[in-house]
Structure 1
Amino acid sequence: MKKYSGLLLALMTCMSFPSSVFAQDDRAALVPLPSLDDFTRGEDGWGIGLGAGIEYESAYEGADEFAVEADPAGAVQWRSGDNIFYWAGEALGWRGLRSDIWLFEATVAFEEGREESDSDDGNLDGLGEGEEGVEFVLQARRAFQADWRYWLDGRLVAGENGNQALFGAGYRFGSQNDGTGSEIAFAVVFHDSDYANKDFGVTAAQSEASGLPETNLSGGFRSIGFNYNYRNNLTANWQIFGEAVIEYYSSDVQDSPIARQDYEAEVGIGVIYVF
């Protein structure tokens, strides 16, 4: 993880500034978690945030190559009481708060397929293009108290290319209620055989074309993961965000010839203008 130390240090440095330095509205977000953006400033109606981020990440699932990628960031949101409807890139969704300690979310998203060109070293040559598809994501988070200091997370991803489930827990730092600050989370991930082979399987035809051994994975335990999120207001309109993620694969996944590393990692930072 030495490659990530510079960006992580930058994120931690940002955390060291007291919130009084920045001009920010202390109005309540739907849920005060940095991982859940809320651009509505605590009011009903439209909330729009547009920006961009830079990520240093694994080139594909299981890659031993890393790449720098610039991506758009932000969302268009509509808030009505304890409900937010949003459009964020290739995802349309809803999230709603219930009883102060329950958050539910439903999303329809487009999943981009893997491409042979994702590997500059030619490690994906002969495997063909991965299939694109639509995914449906259902999520529930439960806080232990209304301040969302500690919370549990459950998520189901169902799509054309397989299904995945996640169970996690998180902790929020700071006492802000406007969605700024930082949080950490740990998760355990499971997948079915279709989802497993989408990323790590090798069919007979792919084996012949690539020279990799034919591989057929069964469903079950996929990985454990750690996630760190950071968000803060630089001015009344400009917001900075950052994220660091590492996912450590199960032994079954590690045995796949496509998994050239035992883990996948990503670190990123960006800015958003909130209208």
Structure 2
Amino acid sequence: MEALRRIVSGRVALAASALALICTTAPGNAHAQSLFDRMPTIPGDWTITLGAQGKFLPEFEGASRFRFEPLPIVSIRRAGKAARFRSPLDGAGLSLIDIGGFHGGLVGKYKGGRDAGDDPRHLRGLGDVDATIEAGLFAEFWPRDWFRTRIETRRGFGGHRGFVADLSADVVVPVGERWTLSGGPRLSPADNKATAPYFGVDAAQSLASGLPLFNAKGGLHSIGAGLQARYQLTPQWEVRGYVEYARLRDDAASSPLVTRYGSPDQTTIGLGASYSFDIKLW
């Protein structure tokens, strides 16, 4: 546990330092600011945001070791409309209902698979788990302009075929003209079919891996919290950093894969940058 804390704290510090370096040097440096300001803006009816982010996350769900994963940032909205707040936990959503502070619609999320060859020491004999596309519905409500609650319910297709949900609440606070800070609690339940492929150990797997039999059932999958910082370099350029922490619960935490080889403490650290521009699509 102490080693995990040192790893996580070190990477949090690294991400925070990188974010602070970008945010403090670019706006304060006249040449750098001029460079950003000279980036072209294409007039049109839609605003497209493109970017990239990298994140450190557990090597597999329940692992104590980390891996690095690059990801694209892509979004589209009507020109002149402010970008809607997103937390790192959110799936990709398509809003179908927008009434006051309530929004609801379709949501999808990608969950990477687990390859036993990536960590043969700990995953030997457990087999691979395919990647999963999770599709479902979301609803979010803003009781205040600085406070958002959200729920997603999704069904898996691929590595698991169960039902999962993510419940979150975020306080969203602008700090000055450029900073936006946000954060709040998280809670994620999952059913049997969404839990067993990642945390269960059947007879064949037990024989091959040496782990005891374990019939992983659903329940409260994890509880946790998240913190995100966004910095608006220019009207087009934005940088962001975040930390999401989840504590595995119930059978996910009791799995021998976690108790022997991993940790119930799951931390993800991300840092990214994006550029927004207007364009006429049709």
TM-score by length of 1: 0.76
SS in 2 for 1:241: strand
Residues 82 and 98, structure 1, Cα contact 8 Å, conserved in 2? no
The CA deviation string for residues 82-126 of structure 1, in whole angstroms up to 9 with x for no partner, is 899xxxxxx86412562331122412344432111332x621111
Change beyond 3 A, Cα 1:211–1:95: same
Q: Report the Cα distance in structure 2 between the residues aligned to 1:166 and 1:263, rounded to whole angstroms.
A: 17
Letter in 2 for 1:104: G
Query: Aligned-pair distance for 1:214?
Result: 1.6
**1:186 matched to which residue of 2?**
185
SS of 2:152's equivalent in the other structure is strand
Say whether the 8 Å CA contact 1:193–1:218 is kept in structure 2: yes
Contact residue 83 and residue 94 of structure 1 kept, 8 A: no
> In the alignment, what sits opposite 2:48?
48
Secondary structure of 1:122 counterpart: helix
Shift in Å at residue 56 of structure 1? 1.8
Taking a change above 3 Å as real, the CA distance of residues 177 and 13 of structure 1, as seen in their structure-2 partners, is closer
Assess, with a 3 A threshold, how the Cα gap between structure 1 residues 108 and 153 changes in structure 2: closer, same or farther.
closer
Q: Which amino acid aligns with 2:155?
A: A
Structure 2 unpaired stretches of 5+? 1-7, 84-90, 278-282
Which segments of 5 or more consecutive residues in structure 1 lack a partner in the other structure?
A: 25-40, 85-90
Alignment of 1:158-237 (within 5 A): 158-160=155-157, 161=160, 162-174=162-174, 181-237=180-236
Report how far residue 270 of structure 1 moved: 1.3
Structure having the higher Rg = 2
Aligned pair in 2 of structure 1 residues 225, 44: CA closer, same or farther (>3 Å)?
Answer: farther
Q: Deviations over 1:236-265 (max 9, x none)?
A: 332211111110011432220121101111
CA distance in 2, matches of 1:226, 1:190: 15
Q: C-alpha deviations, 1:125-179, integer Å up to 9, x for none?
A: 111110233311321111112x2x112221112113211122222101117899x
Q: Percent identity?
A: 24
- Go from structure 1 to structure 2 and tell me whether the alpha carbon gap of 1:49 and 1:253 turns closer, same or farther (over 3 Å shift): same
Letter in 1 for 2:181: S
Preserved contact between residue 229 and residue 241 of structure 2 (Cα < 8 Å): yes
Find the aligned partners of 1:166 and 1:56 in 2 and give their Cα distance.
Answer: 21
Distance in 1 between the 2:93 and 2:220 partners? 27
* Matched positions, count: 248
The equivalent of 2:140 in structure 1 is 141
- Residues 73 and 272 of structure 1 are in contact (CA less than 8 Å); yes or no, is this contact kept in structure 2? no
| 1:181 positional shift | 1.2
Letter of the 1:9 partner, please give it.
A
Please give the alpha-carbon distance, in whole angstroms, between the structure 2 residues aligned to 1:96 and 1:185: 25
Output the CA distance in 1 between the equivalents of 2:230 and 2:58: 23
Equivalences for 1:16-35 in 2 at 5 Å?
none
> What residue in structure 2 maps to residue 267 of structure 1?
269
Whether 2:247 is the aligned partner of 1:248: answer yes
Q: Tell which deviates more after alignment, 216-225 or 169-178.
A: 169-178
Q: Which residue of 1 aligns with 2:13?
A: 6
2:117 corresponds in structure 1 to 117
Give me the whole-angstrom Cα distance separating, in 1, the residues matched to 2:238 and 2:102. 26
Cα deviation, 1:173-229, whole Å, max 9, x if unaligned, reads 117899x61210211111101111122111222112211112111221111011112
Whether contact under 8 Å (2:52, 2:71) holds in the other structure is yes
Say if 1:44 and 1:78, in contact at 8 Å, map to a contact too. Answer: no
The question of whether the paired residues in 1 share the 8 Å contact of 2:164 and 2:188 is answered with yes
